[in-house]
Structure 1
Amino acid sequence: MIVITSTFTADVMHSQLMELLPPSSQPKILFVTQQVFSQLLLSNSEFQKNRNGFNVLLIRLSDLIPYTATPQSPAIEQFITEFSYTLTTAHATMRVPLLILFSPTPADHIEETEFYTSISTRIQQRIAQSNTLCIVQSSEILQHKSLPIIDSPLADQLGQPPYTLEFYRMLSAVIVDQISKAPSIIETHLAKHPYESPQNLLQNKIIAIFAEVLQIDASLVGINTEFFDLGGTSISALNLIQILNNQFHVSINFSILYIHATAKLLSDQISDILSKTQFATIISHTQMHQHSLKQIKAGQPHKLPIIFIHPEGGTGCCYLDLIKALPDDQPCYLIQDPSIDTHRFLFDDMVSMATYYNHLLLKHLSTAPFILAGYAFGGLLALEMIRQLEHKNLADCVHSFIAFDTWIETSTKLHDSQLSTAIQSESQPRMVTYYNQLQDLSMAYSPTKISKKIVLFKATLQMGNYAAAHSLNLYTTEPLETHLIACDHDSILQWPHIRWISHHITQYLKETIHGMA
């Protein structure tokens, strides 16, 4: 949109501007004639509402201040100071570039012309320089072509168009020329607001959605960049809302978007909505995060992090020796069940548990994509987490899945030996109940296929009902990479097997992932 306000009648330029503007970018043009100060000062003015286009200010100084033979008088100086301040302040709050044209004042004497030229020059000198503000002096306009300026002094006094149609056409040409040279909406915002990079996966994803909807470069969008500052309109906002609601299963509306229009604010809002609708009944999100996602090895930021999902034990302690055996530059995280520390079972099924763990990663992990890894029950959880991410069009957040002796259980509980050992060593009855509850969740879970690569480390010394389990190759559309280890299920993550496993994981990361960078 091009919003034009002026100190004189100017709406006759509408058709001329439409003729001169490129057909591919015919914007809406709005004239608010003789409302200069209200447009500059009011927070609800059309200038302030304009979020996608340009603001144009046409000023004929003789409409604002009468001619006097003493241009250096205190009254003139006060006018210049106050008007310069008004322009600077208004421009600082605008979301689009501002073009100021000092239109020529028809004068009978050269002294009068020089008087107004002096004032406009001094105003320009007072205004802070910016690549989002352009000032065109009357002398520059008159250099374009020698044309009669005024049509009729009487018409001007009656509020009719004061200039000739030929001169209006020249003004229109100057406006179009300056607009073509003006910075884009994105450049306007970046000139006023420093770029701040995303801090978590959720912010990263929202920025990617901004870029998709607006068809812009995501690298230009910081977490404090407003959607509407980037050229968002009511139509594109509806598209954005639909994508956000579909991907994150929330109910964002236009009122929420208008108030929370940055990636940072939207990520906080989405996280809060999810916490209240899905997790608030069990424990606060902050407490759950403290008890759940743990960084074990920081590693290097350019390496894809591995997220180890807890098995039936709930804590993920079984992974610690393997994590130590991996290279020091490999980032590693653990997700443990917050039920362990909160002394109550928090999830009703695998789906709700996986939903929360994905929520944790999107909100608190700063790097994507990541690799999910899981042993036994943890592998089932990883499958469900990936399924949900793919269903929500967030598949690009996860690269692949590393499974440690994970099967799909069909008829009987496959971890009786492990549970028996835990019962014998555990003096707290609630932990026995906890183990049983997690086993019940796994027995009730029926996964569907995912579209991610699975690397399976499989124990060959199976016992009892393990042989009845389905292999993971039935649950991925990608080829299954299998490594056989001469051990049983309970010892696969113990020495000396983890030395061999860590070697193959390191080679996989180097050849398949990091080697592609």
Structure 2
Amino acid sequence: TLVFDYPTITEMVERVMALLFPDTEAAASESSSNQSDRPAFASTIVPIQPHGSRPPYFFVSGILGTVLDLQPLSQALDSEQPFYGLRSLGLDEAIPPYTTMEAIAAYHIHALQAVQSTGPYHLGGYSFGGKVAFEMAQQLQKQGARVASLTLIDIQRQVPAIEQTADQWSDIQYITELAKFYQGLVDQPLVLSPDDFSKAHDPLQVLQTALQTAGQTMTTLDLQRALAVYKANTQASAAYRPQPLKGIPVTLIRAETVGALGDYLPNAAQTDHDPTWGWQPLVDTLTVKTVPGNHFTLLRFPHVWTLAQTFSDTLHGQDLPSE
């Protein structure tokens, strides 16, 4: 999220220097600034596109916690649509991430209300973020706030079988599963064999090297934080049992192509049996829509144009300008 938090080259360079060389004057300057100018609360709000005349949309990131993959969706939406991402705590700061859905949602609400203090709210989330958004809607409703719409993108209600034992996973298994998500994110196979992690002295470095080969450069610190966030989010997802949510229109948007995420999402036969992926019993009004692409590519061009159109129809009933 540095791209959005530090939009100028000078600010970006100073921030990167502070991260790479914490003993330098730049780091000392930033530390002093943090203490005097910034609150202790680390906001998880990322203003991807904060301008426009329409009510803002708040969208929770997927299980990796980053909002960078949400930028194409923001670009494809109408220029009058403010679009805020909600990233995972712990990616950009030395703060342990929360490990329950309830705590994650409560923290995001705190950040959200610094931008929009009262409802009605428009919420959404991608994959894991859909469950976070669902819990946020629950908590906001209990606070007496109005949630005008809730959009869930490619996420089922049930805990997938592979995730049910996440609290027993070893570090190697977490890194192995994390690699699957990064492989979808970079949209190409990572150069890894099944034994690479189990035989390695430093499994995380093996993943770091594979990502670098695929053109995705991450520092050791970034990858350590990403692993911590992935662990916390996986544990939160595995333990979460969403409760009925009444009085809020909910839209589930599914990818047409299933299977990109393996056992984490229903297969074609399971989807035919229950197109609502388990959400129908919990809500009053549920609309299910499908968009081109798979779990990962629906957020990328050209498929994201259709996703953005579906978003626009859900929120405003208006057409987007053609690309």
- What TM-score range do you get, normalising by the shorter chain? 0.5 to 0.7
Cα gap change, 1:364 to 1:509, in 2 (>3 Å): closer
Provide structure 1 residue ranges, at least 5 long, that are not aligned to the other structure.
1-283, 513-517
Q: Paired residue for 1:418, among 181, 200, 206?
A: 181
Q: Paired residue for 1:321, among 72, 91, 109?
A: 72
Q: CA deviation at 1:353?
A: 1.1
Q: Which amino acid aligns with 1:506?
A: S
Q: CA deviation at 1:348?
A: 3.2
Cα gap change, 1:413 to 1:489, in 2 (>3 Å): farther
1:369 maps to 2:120: yes
1:481 maps to 2:317: no
Q: Which amino acid aligns with 2:68?
A: C
Distance 1:386 1:313 in 2: 21
Distance 2:38 2:286 in 1: 36
Judge which range, 427-436 or 330-339, deviates more: 427-436
Distance 1:309 1:298 in 2: 15
Q: CA deviation at 1:373?
A: 1.2
1:455 maps to 2:206: no
Judge which range, 380-389 or 365-374, deviates more: 365-374
Distance 1:292 1:453 in 2: 25
CA contact (8 A) 1:408 1:472 kept: yes
1:310 maps to 2:61: yes
Percent identity between matched residues is 22
Q: Deviations over 1:377-416 (max 9, x none)?
A: 110100111111222322x1x2111111111242223976
In structure 1, what is the equivalent of residue 197 of structure 2? none
CA contact (8 A) 2:44 2:86 kept: yes
In structure 2, what is the equivalent of residue 404 of structure 1? 153
Distance 2:316 2:91 in 1: 35
Q: CA deviation at 1:471?
A: 1.3
TM-score between both structures, scaled by the size of structure 1: 0.40
Q: Which amino acid aligns with 2:266?
A: A
Which of 1 and 2 has greater Rg?
Answer: 1
1:502 maps to 2:253: no
Provide structure 2 residue ranges, at least 5 long, that are not aligned to the other structure.
1-36, 165-176, 186-206, 212-217, 271-275, 319-323
Cα gap change, 1:475 to 1:343, in 2 (>3 Å): farther
CA contact (8 A) 2:158 2:278 kept: no
TM-score between both structures, scaled by the size of structure 2: 0.62
CA contact (8 A) 1:453 1:476 kept: no
Q: Which amino acid aligns with 1:431?
A: A
- Higher helix fraction (1 or 2): 1
Larger relative contact order, structure 1 or 2 (CA cutoff 8 Å, min sep 6): 2
CA contact (8 A) 1:304 1:368 kept: no
In structure 1, what is the equivalent of residue 48 of structure 2? 296
Q: CA deviation at 1:420?
A: 5.6
Cα gap change, 1:429 to 1:363, in 2 (>3 Å): closer
